Structure 1
Amino acid sequence: MLLRQALAPLRAANALQLRSTARAFGTSVPRASFWDTILPLIQGNRRERKLQRKQGGLLPEDYERVQRDQRREEMMAAQTSTGDALVDDVLSSPQIRDEELQARRFSEKREKRLARKRWGGLDENGQEKQEHKYSTATFRISPQKLKMLADQISGKPIDYAILQMQFSAKRAARRVRSTLVMARDHAAAKGMDVSKLHVSEAWVTKGTYFARLEIKGRARHGIMHHPQAKLSIVLRPGKTWEEREEQKIQKARRHVRSIGSGGVTRTNRKIVNGFQRPGWAW
């Protein structure tokens, strides 16, 4: 406080000198800049966001759900002056009934969507299958060329499929490899075991074919079609690479055992009539 009082005359002298200098040069005193005006508002918004984060950081839809639950509790706890319930049956009120109907419709729609999905759906226990679907954007490539890469990675472990695309000479292999890496990272973020992931499905869909004019000789022309396609994959947990190799070895052993000796029986009996006469037999 004492320091502020001591610096007050200096501030007044500086302001007077600034005004005199401005008059000498024919200019006005500089006004407050844009940031001097907008910065307090930004800091206020930051303080509000920090306070909201400290209070729980609810999303708008979560905040609406909390408000809806509070209204329901207030309706159930509302009483008259005599102590009786203000609302006889809260669950039969139009607002609560509409909310329950909307939640039931959403659950039924979700079950129907899971039932008709080409990939995913429900397992034998009625739970959602553990899997992850990912796809590339539609880019310029022939669907036939992209299908060859899809057949190359289909059914392979995710790391083996990435390795195949890394050493592939095809131009689209780089995009497919980045798609596989991104899908693997997303599946790991969902809590899936990366060591057991394999490309369960891989299919190609056509995109928009752009038509362009092809100029030819002798005042003739044709139509060029630039194809586009998109690759979609589904990652599901399966057997690891070591388990697959062990399964192949066991299958080969069972195949050899099923063949047997080929009709040849080995015995230790002595050779009968083994004496060979010299010369020809006739």
Structure 2
Amino acid sequence: MLLRSVWASLRVPRVTPRVGVRAFVTSTPRTSFWDTVLPLIQGNRRERKLQRQQGGLLPEDYERVQRDQRRDEMMAAQSSTGDALVDDVLSSPQARSEEVEARRAEAKRTKRLLRKRWGGLDENGIEKQEHKYSTAVFRISPRKLNLLANQIIGKPIDFAIVQMQFSAKRAARRVRATLVMARDHAIAKGMDPSKLLVSEAWVTKGTYFARLEIKGRARHGIMHHPQAKLNVVLRPGKTWEEREEAALDLARRRMRRLGSGGVTRTNRKIVNGFQRPGWAW
């Protein structure tokens, strides 16, 4: 009992810390994952709701539809006597401002097409019949990818796709997908798929990542992982039938140039007919 009383006198009483209201007010609130993600989700929901209200149209298309609706309402507006309130809708200030805006947008588009290197406008203002497409930068040596580029350059697009389909190279699948996508985009532009050729194909380097190469005896080296991407330009050319006809025409012209093998038959008189066979002495 004596030991218990001594121990009780020596124990330090536990004090519960008091937290005032001021500590809750001045403390910084902790942000959770949902505090950051939830506004983004709600924003996407608002955008989807607005898009559903617009009938699934893009903002510029929705503005065009609204403009056409306002024009139709102006044309259908009538007075109490049945007369049209607007004589000429096209001469209204709103229509004139829309026409000026359309001309400005067309001039901007033409200027941008003139600056484009591929698929823009030529010197005469005519749109070029070509389409450029490229892969993303992926891990491959530029030398290896250049071999595939040399294999498809100058070939018809369908023939190039078949070549990549039956190629044993690992990057051939990505090149084939790129050619298929480029062909679909060119067809969407209005180009004839039977005349499409891979007019240009080149390889550009990407970022070379440096990594540590562990060696023996506490030594190390530096490894460089190469990256590259493939660029192709499709232009219209000759079809298979036109190519075969051109090859046959070239063969015919070569045969005509050969003639009779260099032998020419003429009716010229015999020269030096007095000579006899054998030695002259």
Same fold (TM over 0.5): yes
Work out the CA distance in 1 between the residues paired with 2:84 and 2:249: 76
Work out the CA distance in 1 between the residues paired with 2:267 and 2:65: 88
The answer for the alignment partner of 1:245 in structure 2 is 244
3-state secondary structure, aligned to 2:186: helix
The answer for the alignment partner of 1:184 in structure 2 is 183
Amino acid in structure 2 at the alignment position of 1:244: R
> Against the structure 1 CA distance between its residues 220 and 239, is the aligned structure 2 distance closer, same or farther, given a 3 Å change threshold?
same
2:54–2:62 contact (8 Å) kept in structure 1:
no
> Against the structure 1 CA distance between its residues 114 and 189, is the aligned structure 2 distance closer, same or farther, given a 3 Å change threshold?
closer
> Against the structure 1 CA distance between its residues 169 and 77, is the aligned structure 2 distance closer, same or farther, given a 3 Å change threshold?
closer
| 1:147 and 2:146 matched | yes
2:133–2:182 contact (8 Å) kept in structure 1:
yes
Work out the CA distance in 2 between the residues paired with 1:221 and 1:102: 64
CA drift of 1:239 comes to 0.7
Work out the CA distance in 1 between the residues paired with 2:92 and 2:117: 39
3-state secondary structure, aligned to 1:179: helix
Q: Deviations over 1:103-154 (max 9, x none)?
A: 4443333222211222122257633233333322221112232123222212
1:213–1:222 contact (8 Å) kept in structure 2:
yes
Amino acid in structure 1 at the alignment position of 2:180: V
Work out the CA distance in 2 between the residues paired with 1:209 and 1:99: 51
CA drift of 1:202 comes to 1.6
CA drift of 1:168 comes to 3.5
Q: Deviations over 1:241-260 (max 9, x none)?
A: 23123224434554665687
CA drift of 1:176 comes to 1.4
CA drift of 1:185 comes to 3.7
The answer for the alignment partner of 2:39 in structure 1 is none
Q: What pairs with 1:76-155 in structure 2 (closer than 5 Å)? A: 102-123=101-122, 126-155=125-154
The answer for the alignment partner of 1:211 in structure 2 is 210
Q: Deviations over 1:190-212 (max 9, x none)?
A: 44322211112222222222221
Q: TM-score, normalised by structure 1?
A: 0.62
Q: Where in structure 2 are there 5+ consecutive unaligned residues? A: 1-47
Q: Deviations over 1:71-123 (max 9, x none)?
A: 46667888999x9989xx99796x77775565444333322221122212225
The answer for the alignment partner of 1:22 in structure 2 is none
The answer for the alignment partner of 2:201 in structure 1 is 202
Q: TM-score, normalised by structure 2?
A: 0.62
Q: Deviations over 1:140-183 (max 9, x none)?
A: 11223212322221221112222333343433223212322333
Work out the CA distance in 1 between the residues paired with 2:128 and 2:248: 30
Q: Deviations over 1:19-41 (max 9, x none)?
A: xxxxxxxxxxxxxxxxxxxxxxx
The answer for the alignment partner of 1:227 in structure 2 is 226
Amino acid in structure 1 at the alignment position of 2:214: I
Work out the CA distance in 2 between the residues paired with 1:231 and 1:178: 12
The answer for the alignment partner of 1:165 in structure 2 is 164
3-state secondary structure, aligned to 2:200: strand
Q: Where in structure 1 are there 5+ consecutive unaligned residues? A: 1-44
1:142–1:227 contact (8 Å) kept in structure 2:
yes
2:201–2:230 contact (8 Å) kept in structure 1:
yes
Work out the CA distance in 1 between the residues paired with 2:105 and 2:184: 30
3-state secondary structure, aligned to 2:106: helix
Work out the CA distance in 2 between the residues paired with 1:183 and 1:248: 28
> Against the structure 1 CA distance between its residues 77 and 139, is the aligned structure 2 distance closer, same or farther, given a 3 Å change threshold?
same
Work out the CA distance in 2 between the residues paired with 1:272 and 1:158: 63
Work out the CA distance in 1 between the residues paired with 2:97 and 2:226: 49
Please provide the CA RMSD for this pair: 4.2
> Against the structure 1 CA distance between its residues 84 and 162, is the aligned structure 2 distance closer, same or farther, given a 3 Å change threshold?
closer
Work out the CA distance in 2 between the residues paired with 1:133 and 1:206: 18
The answer for the alignment partner of 2:12 in structure 1 is none
